[in-house]
Amino acid sequence: MFGAYGFDGATMRQVAEAAGVPLALVSYHFGSKEGLYRAVFDRRVPTVVEQRLVGLAIAMSEPDLDRRLELVVKALVFPMLHLRAHDRDPSFGRVLAHETMDPSSEQRGFIRDMFDPIARALVDALASALPGRSQQDIWWAYEFMLGAMVYVMGDAGRIERLSGGLCRPDDEEGAVRHMVAFLTAGLRHGAPQAAQTRAALKPKKPKGGQTHATGDVSKRRRATARGRAD
Protein backbone atom coordinates (compact mmCIF):
# COMPACT_ATOMS: atom_id res chain seq x y z
CA MET A 1 0.00 0.00 0.00
CA PHE A 2 2.76 2.45 0.89
CA GLY A 3 4.59 1.55 -2.31
CA ALA A 4 1.50 2.18 -4.40
CA TYR A 5 0.11 5.29 -2.69
CA GLY A 6 2.90 6.74 -0.56
CA PHE A 7 2.63 7.58 3.12
CA ASP A 8 -0.14 10.15 2.75
CA GLY A 9 -2.18 8.18 0.22
CA ALA A 10 -2.28 4.84 2.02
CA THR A 11 -4.61 4.25 4.96
CA MET A 12 -4.40 1.89 7.91
CA ARG A 13 -7.68 0.32 6.77
CA GLN A 14 -6.24 -0.44 3.32
CA VAL A 15 -3.18 -2.06 4.90
CA ALA A 16 -5.33 -4.16 7.23
CA GLU A 17 -7.57 -5.31 4.39
CA ALA A 18 -4.57 -6.18 2.20
CA ALA A 19 -3.05 -8.18 5.08
CA GLY A 20 -6.38 -9.84 5.88
CA VAL A 21 -6.34 -8.80 9.53
CA PRO A 22 -8.60 -6.59 11.67
CA LEU A 23 -7.77 -2.88 11.70
CA ALA A 24 -7.61 -2.98 15.51
CA LEU A 25 -4.82 -5.54 15.34
CA VAL A 26 -2.69 -3.29 13.13
CA SER A 27 -3.28 -0.37 15.47
CA TYR A 28 -2.44 -2.54 18.49
CA HIS A 29 0.94 -3.64 17.11
CA PHE A 30 2.09 -0.41 15.44
CA GLY A 31 0.14 2.31 17.24
CA SER A 32 -0.21 4.67 14.27
CA LYS A 33 0.27 4.85 10.54
CA GLU A 34 3.69 6.39 11.04
CA GLY A 35 4.61 3.54 13.40
CA LEU A 36 3.60 1.03 10.73
CA TYR A 37 5.50 2.97 8.07
CA ARG A 38 8.64 3.03 10.22
CA ALA A 39 8.35 -0.74 10.68
CA VAL A 40 8.63 -1.13 6.89
CA PHE A 41 11.99 0.65 7.02
CA ASP A 42 13.12 -1.05 10.24
CA ARG A 43 12.58 -4.44 8.64
CA ARG A 44 14.85 -3.78 5.65
CA VAL A 45 17.21 -0.87 6.19
CA PRO A 46 19.50 -2.28 8.95
CA THR A 47 20.48 -5.22 6.71
CA VAL A 48 21.14 -2.87 3.79
CA VAL A 49 23.30 -0.60 5.95
CA GLU A 50 25.25 -3.54 7.41
CA GLN A 51 25.96 -4.92 3.94
CA ARG A 52 27.11 -1.50 2.76
CA LEU A 53 29.47 -1.14 5.71
CA VAL A 54 31.01 -4.53 4.93
CA GLY A 55 31.35 -3.55 1.27
CA LEU A 56 32.99 -0.25 2.18
CA ALA A 57 35.48 -1.99 4.50
CA ILE A 58 36.50 -4.24 1.61
CA ALA A 59 36.73 -1.29 -0.75
CA MET A 60 38.89 0.80 1.57
CA SER A 61 41.35 -2.06 1.97
CA GLU A 62 42.00 -1.96 -1.80
CA PRO A 63 45.10 0.16 -2.64
CA ASP A 64 44.35 0.35 -6.37
CA LEU A 65 42.07 3.37 -6.76
CA ASP A 66 40.31 2.15 -9.91
CA ARG A 67 39.43 -1.11 -8.22
CA ARG A 68 38.46 0.73 -5.02
CA LEU A 69 36.06 2.93 -6.98
CA GLU A 70 34.33 -0.10 -8.46
CA LEU A 71 34.02 -1.71 -5.03
CA VAL A 72 32.55 1.46 -3.50
CA VAL A 73 29.90 1.61 -6.23
CA LYS A 74 29.13 -2.06 -5.65
CA ALA A 75 28.82 -1.42 -1.91
CA LEU A 76 26.14 1.16 -2.68
CA VAL A 77 24.02 -0.71 -5.22
CA PHE A 78 24.41 -4.40 -4.37
CA PRO A 79 22.43 -4.47 -1.08
CA MET A 80 19.43 -2.74 -2.65
CA LEU A 81 19.43 -4.76 -5.86
CA HIS A 82 19.87 -7.94 -3.82
CA LEU A 83 16.82 -6.94 -1.78
CA ARG A 84 14.87 -6.23 -4.98
CA ALA A 85 15.76 -9.64 -6.39
CA HIS A 86 15.04 -11.44 -3.10
CA ASP A 87 11.61 -9.81 -2.69
CA ARG A 88 10.78 -10.11 -6.40
CA ASP A 89 8.67 -7.05 -5.72
CA PRO A 90 9.30 -3.38 -6.52
CA SER A 91 7.25 -2.16 -3.54
CA PHE A 92 10.11 -1.12 -1.26
CA GLY A 93 11.81 0.66 -4.15
CA ARG A 94 8.63 2.62 -4.66
CA VAL A 95 8.41 3.37 -0.95
CA LEU A 96 11.95 4.78 -1.10
CA ALA A 97 11.10 6.82 -4.19
CA HIS A 98 7.99 8.23 -2.51
CA GLU A 99 9.84 9.01 0.70
CA THR A 100 12.75 10.66 -1.12
CA MET A 101 10.46 12.98 -3.07
CA ASP A 102 7.81 13.64 -0.40
CA PRO A 103 8.20 17.18 1.02
CA SER A 104 7.03 15.94 4.43
CA SER A 105 9.68 13.22 4.61
CA GLU A 106 12.06 15.57 6.42
CA GLN A 107 9.58 15.80 9.28
CA ARG A 108 9.49 12.00 9.62
CA GLY A 109 13.26 11.81 9.38
CA PHE A 110 13.48 8.17 8.22
CA ILE A 111 15.91 8.86 5.37
CA ARG A 112 17.96 11.26 7.49
CA ASP A 113 18.20 8.94 10.51
CA MET A 114 18.64 5.63 8.72
CA PHE A 115 20.55 6.48 5.53
CA ASP A 116 22.46 9.74 6.03
CA PRO A 117 25.32 8.29 8.14
CA ILE A 118 26.09 5.56 5.60
CA ALA A 119 25.65 8.10 2.78
CA ARG A 120 28.43 10.26 4.25
CA ALA A 121 30.67 7.20 4.63
CA LEU A 122 30.04 6.29 0.97
CA VAL A 123 30.84 9.81 -0.20
CA ASP A 124 34.08 9.81 1.83
CA ALA A 125 35.01 6.49 0.20
CA LEU A 126 34.22 7.87 -3.27
CA ALA A 127 36.41 10.91 -2.56
CA SER A 128 39.29 8.66 -1.53
CA ALA A 129 39.04 6.81 -4.85
CA LEU A 130 38.72 10.04 -6.87
CA PRO A 131 41.31 12.36 -5.28
CA GLY A 132 41.17 14.87 -8.14
CA ARG A 133 37.46 15.58 -7.85
CA SER A 134 35.79 18.35 -5.89
CA GLN A 135 33.30 17.68 -3.11
CA GLN A 136 30.60 19.11 -5.37
CA ASP A 137 31.47 16.57 -8.07
CA ILE A 138 31.34 13.72 -5.56
CA TRP A 139 27.98 14.70 -4.05
CA TRP A 140 26.34 15.12 -7.46
CA ALA A 141 27.73 11.73 -8.50
CA TYR A 142 26.22 10.18 -5.38
CA GLU A 143 22.85 11.78 -6.18
CA PHE A 144 22.90 10.44 -9.74
CA MET A 145 23.81 6.95 -8.54
CA LEU A 146 20.91 6.96 -6.10
CA GLY A 147 18.54 7.95 -8.89
CA ALA A 148 19.60 5.06 -11.10
CA MET A 149 19.43 2.57 -8.24
CA VAL A 150 16.00 3.64 -6.95
CA TYR A 151 14.58 3.59 -10.48
CA VAL A 152 15.61 -0.03 -10.95
CA MET A 153 14.37 -0.87 -7.46
CA GLY A 154 10.92 0.47 -8.32
CA ASP A 155 10.70 -0.90 -11.87
CA ALA A 156 7.53 -2.98 -12.13
CA GLY A 157 8.63 -4.62 -15.38
CA ARG A 158 9.03 -1.88 -17.97
CA ILE A 159 12.63 -2.76 -18.85
CA GLU A 160 11.62 -6.40 -19.21
CA ARG A 161 8.83 -5.44 -21.61
CA LEU A 162 10.95 -3.03 -23.64
CA SER A 163 13.88 -5.45 -23.91
CA GLY A 164 11.71 -8.41 -24.83
CA GLY A 165 12.77 -10.23 -21.68
CA LEU A 166 16.51 -9.64 -22.08
CA CYS A 167 16.66 -7.46 -18.95
CA ARG A 168 14.77 -8.03 -15.70
CA PRO A 169 15.00 -5.83 -12.59
CA ASP A 170 14.93 -8.94 -10.37
CA ASP A 171 17.92 -10.43 -12.21
CA GLU A 172 20.34 -9.64 -9.40
CA GLU A 173 23.55 -10.73 -11.11
CA GLY A 174 22.78 -8.97 -14.38
CA ALA A 175 21.47 -5.78 -12.78
CA VAL A 176 24.45 -5.45 -10.44
CA ARG A 177 27.00 -6.18 -13.18
CA HIS A 178 25.59 -3.65 -15.64
CA MET A 179 24.85 -0.93 -13.10
CA VAL A 180 28.27 -1.12 -11.42
CA ALA A 181 30.02 -0.96 -14.80
CA PHE A 182 27.88 1.95 -15.99
CA LEU A 183 28.16 4.02 -12.82
CA THR A 184 31.88 3.36 -12.42
CA ALA A 185 32.55 4.52 -15.99
CA GLY A 186 30.51 7.66 -15.35
CA LEU A 187 32.50 8.43 -12.21
CA ARG A 188 35.84 7.88 -13.91
CA HIS A 189 35.06 10.06 -16.90
CA GLY A 190 32.53 12.38 -15.32
CA ALA A 191 32.22 16.06 -14.60
CA PRO A 192 35.04 18.24 -15.92
CA GLN A 193 36.31 21.21 -13.99
CA ALA A 194 34.09 24.31 -14.11
CA ALA A 195 36.65 26.32 -16.07
CA GLN A 196 36.95 23.60 -18.69
CA THR A 197 33.19 23.46 -18.98
CA ARG A 198 32.92 27.20 -19.53
CA ALA A 199 35.67 27.11 -22.13
CA ALA A 200 34.00 24.29 -24.01
CA LEU A 201 30.65 26.12 -24.07
CA LYS A 202 32.08 29.52 -25.10
CA PRO A 203 31.64 30.21 -28.87
CA LYS A 204 34.92 30.27 -30.72
CA LYS A 205 35.77 33.60 -32.37
CA PRO A 206 37.04 33.34 -35.96
CA LYS A 207 40.54 34.52 -36.72
CA GLY A 208 41.04 38.14 -37.74
CA GLY A 209 38.25 39.43 -35.50
CA GLN A 210 35.53 38.39 -37.94
CA THR A 211 32.27 36.85 -36.88
CA HIS A 212 31.11 33.60 -38.42
CA ALA A 213 28.63 35.54 -40.58
CA THR A 214 31.10 38.13 -41.96
CA GLY A 215 33.71 35.45 -42.36
CA ASP A 216 31.36 33.37 -44.50
CA VAL A 217 30.48 36.43 -46.66
CA SER A 218 34.16 37.25 -47.19
CA LYS A 219 34.87 33.66 -48.26
CA ARG A 220 32.05 33.79 -50.81
CA ARG A 221 33.28 37.11 -52.21
CA ARG A 222 36.80 35.80 -52.65
CA ALA A 223 35.51 32.67 -54.36
CA THR A 224 33.37 34.79 -56.75
CA ALA A 225 36.34 37.03 -57.59
CA ARG A 226 38.53 34.04 -58.38
CA GLY A 227 35.81 32.64 -60.63
CA ARG A 228 35.61 35.87 -62.63
CA ALA A 229 39.37 36.07 -62.98
CA ASP A 230 39.42 32.53 -64.41
pLDDT at residue 187 is higher than 60: yes
Rounded-to-5 percentages of helix, strand, coil across the chain: 80, 0, 20
- In angstroms, the CA 4 to CA 31 distance is 22
Low-confidence winner among 11-25, 83-97, 100-114, 181-195 (lowest mean pLDDT): 83-97
Q: Which domains, ranges and CATH numbers included, belong to the chain?
A: 46-191 (1.10.357.10)
Q: Are 68 and 128 in contact (CB under 8 A)?
A: yes
**84: DSSP letter:** H
pLDDT at residue 205 is higher than 90: no
pLDDT at residue 41 is higher than 90: no
For residue 28, the one-letter residue type is Y
> pLDDT tens digits, residue range 97-154?
777 777 777 878 888 888 999 999 999 999 999 998 999 999 999 999 999 988 888 8
Average pLDDT, integer, range 71-77: 95
pLDDT at residue 199 is higher than 50: no
Cα angle 165-168-174, degrees, rounded to a multiple of 5: 115
What's the Cα-to-Cα distance from 53 to each of 59, 71, 120, 121, 122, rounded to whole Å? 10, 12, 12, 8, 9
Mean pLDDT, all residues of the chain: 81
- In angstroms, the CA 149 to CA 175 distance is 10
